[in-house]
Every structure is written in structure tokens, then in C-alpha cells.
Copies of this chain bind each other. A is one copy, B any other.
């Protein structure tokens, strides 16, 4: 761990070999059977269990430094590991091992009139760089998913979790070599110097096929500003629940409470409640009161505050704030079109839900909301690869290229075309 910024030449001499090694490891991985990758995953899970006391000791170092820096309790909680979390981490690696092997899957197959037989076949992406913040479990989750998909990975965790991540990373090297794979299939940037991220984003175009940033707005904006390598973006989730005039009030209440409060710190948590102007006053009051009684602060527009005096005033900034906390903004809108207009203006393209009993209104919303995930009569907290049946995920991509929505092993692949002929030439 580096306390002082390193000179540019040191950064280059640290990072360039990482890139070269990753490229070589990716080539070896692309040739390796799926059984080898699975063997490495099984061994990594076993190593995590066997190294639990080392990992917890490293985590204690990170926690001590974080307490000294007086980091907020939510961040300390994200950082903290215990036996249960370590076991969940190891079990997560095993669950990824159990997923079907995406590499070599024939995605499509057809024959041309001239007899050429064309296949589209999944292949690894190559080298994936993951830049993340305080959660140390990302070290294991991301490494496992990348390995499953046949990719080499370069990890750059947050400085708060540096020792924890390093201890988890140490479980992968021996697992890889035991399986006959290069330990460089999973590498970790060996410094917390911020310049290393700059170098990775701008100077490693030949070494890295895609960068996946996981974290807050500051990180994402830095990556978008500096990256010369392709980025699979994971923007914040400004998720909306729209309660339509034709919503069943009980269903609306259950969905709103779950979408906001089941877990407030995940990107699929609802941040804004949109209520149809045509809803009865009593329906509005019931929603805001239920939220407040469940411990949620509600910040509403004038029309909502007029109905429930416990609602605080919302400012313009509230409509584009990801609280990740027990706070929700609330506004009345002119029907489904009003809701769609609000979402187009303030949303982050992540996840939106409508509650309505009218199928036509639902279809209008599903077709009109331009977000990665759009739900009818279900909670936004279903925005999750596991809930979609895709296994583990690295996150929810909010960009429009390549992967959108949950990014699991399958989304971490590319493909190529394999054409079999019998001497065809083109006329």
C-alpha cells in the first residue's frame, strides 16, 4: 500500500507488466477447457475458507484505519467481514462454478444457399479490468465471474479495503496454478495510488478489452472522462415506482415499501415515488403514511404535502438524488405519460416500475420507459442477476452497448463467426 503518490515512471513500471501478464493469461485461458476453470474456482473457494483467519486479520487492519478516519457507519458496514460473510463469499464462488459454461456455446447457427454453414459462438472477452470501491467481496465475486467466462481480470479495489482484498486475492493464485492456469488470470493492482487508475484507463488500451467501474458517481464520472478503453458503465440507480390511477392500493403500498425499504443501499432501491394525479387523496395519504411509519423520510411536492403534513418539501435536486438510504422523493404526475416524462428527464436508465391493473397502461409504460429494466406490478428490488435466474452478477449495466441490465458470466463474453465450407469462393 502506497501512502505517497508514485512518480509516473513507477506507475508505468508497476502497471505495464500487469497488462502484459494479463494478455498472456487471457490467451492461455481462452485455450483452456471449462473443467480447468471450474477446478480453479473450486480451489479458490476452498482457499477462502482455509484462509479465513488471515482474511479477517487483514480486514481488521482496514477497519481500524477506517475507524481512525471516522468513515460513516454505512461504509464501515460495507467494509466489514465476519465468518458468515466469508462463508457467503466462498459459497458465491462455488455457485459461479456451477453455472453453465458460456464459452463455446453456439448462439446461432444457419446455412446459406451456397452451402456455407455459419455458427455464432461465444468466446471470452479477453482482459477485463474491474475498478470498485469499499466492498471487499467484489474481489471474489468479480474474479469468479471473469474466470468462469474465460477472461483474465485486473482488480483495482478501494483503498479502504486494500488489505482485505489482497488477502482474498491471495486465495486465487494458488488455485489457478494448481489447475494448470497462469496465476496472472487474476491480478490485483498492487498500489492504491490514484494515478494507477489513470494509467489503466488511458495507457492500457492494448492490454485491456473492457473496464467495468463499480461505485459511486465520482468514480463513474472519472472513468467516463478519462477512459480510452471501452467501458461497461454501471451508473447509479435513480429508480422510480409509478402508482397509476388504476393501481390496487394494497398492491401499490406493498410494492412501494419493498422497492424503497427492503434494502436501501442497493442500486435497485426506489428513490422516487410518482403518483398519478387521478389517484384519490386517500390513496396518496396511505402511501406516504405507510412509508413514514416504516421509518422512511418522504420529501414531496406541494400537492403531496397538502395531503400529509409529515412530508418534507422536495427541492429540484431531490429528483436526481440517489439516497441509498431511508429517504424517498414523491411527486404527483399527469398519468402514465407524465410519469414517463419525469423518468426521461431525471432517471438514470436503471430500473422503473409501474403499479396498475390496466394492461394497456402497463404496456405503454413498459414500451415507453427507456431503462435497462422495466417492471409491471413488481418491486424494483428484483433488479438483480440472481432474481433474473442468471446466477451471480457484477452489477446492472446502464449503458446501451453490449450488456444492459444484469452483467453475469454470459454478459462477460464476446462471440465470433465460424464458417464451414467445401471450397466455396465468392462470385
- Taking Cβ atoms with an 8 Å cutoff, the residues of A that contact B are 27, 30-31, 110, 112, 116, 118, 123, 125-126, 205, 209-210, 224-225, 227-228, 230-232, 248, 251, 254-255, 257-259, 262, 344, 362, 366, 368, 370-379, 381-382, 384, 387-389, 399-402, 404-405, 414-426
Q: Which residues of B contact A425 (CB under 8 A)?
A: 254-255, 257-259, 262, 378-379, 381
CB atoms of B377 and A421 under 8 A apart? yes
Please give, as numbers and ranges, the residues of chain B lying within 8 Å of A381 by CB-CB distance: 425-426
Asked if A366 contacts B418 (CB within 8 A), the reply is: yes
- Given A27-B344, A118-B388, A382-B424, 4 further pairs, Cβ under 8 A: A230-B399, A377-B421, A377-B424, A378-B419
Known: A419-B376, A423-B251. A401 touches B230 (CB 8 A): yes
Copies of this chain, whole number: 2
A15 to B416, CA, bound (A): 36
Q: How far is the CA of A251 from the CA of B421 in the complex (A)?
A: 11
Q: Give chain B nearest CB distance to A424 CB in angstroms.
A: 4
- Enumerate 8 A-B pairs (CB-CB under 8 Å) in ascending A order: A27-B344, A30-B370, A110-B389, A116-B387, A258-B425, A374-B417, A379-B424, A379-B426
B125 and A401 contact, CB distance less than 8 A: yes
Cα A371 to Cα B30 in complex, Å, equals 13
Within the complex, what minimum Cβ distance (angstroms) separates A131 from chain B? 17
CB-defined contacts of A230 to chain B, threshold 8 Å: 230-231, 399, 401
A248 / chain B contacts, CB cutoff of 8 Å: 423
A374 touches B416 (CB 8 A): yes
Of chain B, the residue at the smallest CB distance from A233 is B230
Q: Which 10 A-B pairs have the closest CB atoms?
A: A378-B421, A258-B425, A400-B414, A381-B426, A402-B402, A375-B419, A251-B423, A401-B402, A378-B424, A377-B421
Alpha-carbon gap, A248 to B360, bound state (A): 62
Q: Which residue of B lies closest to A115 (CB)?
A: B378
Q: How far is the CB of A26 from chain B (nearest CB, A)?
A: 10
Assess the B401–A255 pair: CB atoms within 8 A: no
CA distance A368 to B28 in the complex (A): 11
Count chain B CB atoms within 10 A of each CB in A110, A225, A362, A426 and give the residue with the most: A426
Check A374 against B418 for contact (C-beta < 8 Å).
Answer: yes
Q: How far is the CA of A248 from the CA of B225 in the complex (A)?
A: 54
Looking across the interface, which residue of chain B has its beta carbon closest to that of A406? B417
> A123 and B370: CB pair below 8 A?
yes
Decide: A387 near B228, CB < 8 A? Known: A416-B370, A416-B372. no
Q: Which of A344, A400, A402 lies at the interface centre, i.e. has the most chain B CB atoms within 10 A of its CB? A: A400
Check A414/B404 contact, CB under 8 A, given A254-B425, A377-B424, A381-B425: yes
Closest B residue, CB atoms, query A427 = B262
Which residues of the partner chain B approach A388 to less than 8 Å between Cβ atoms?
112, 118, 417
Cα of A415 to Cα of B373 in the assembled complex, Å: 10
The minimal Cβ–Cβ distance linking A238 to chain B, given in whole angstroms, is 16
**Contact status A426-B376, CB under 8 Å:** no
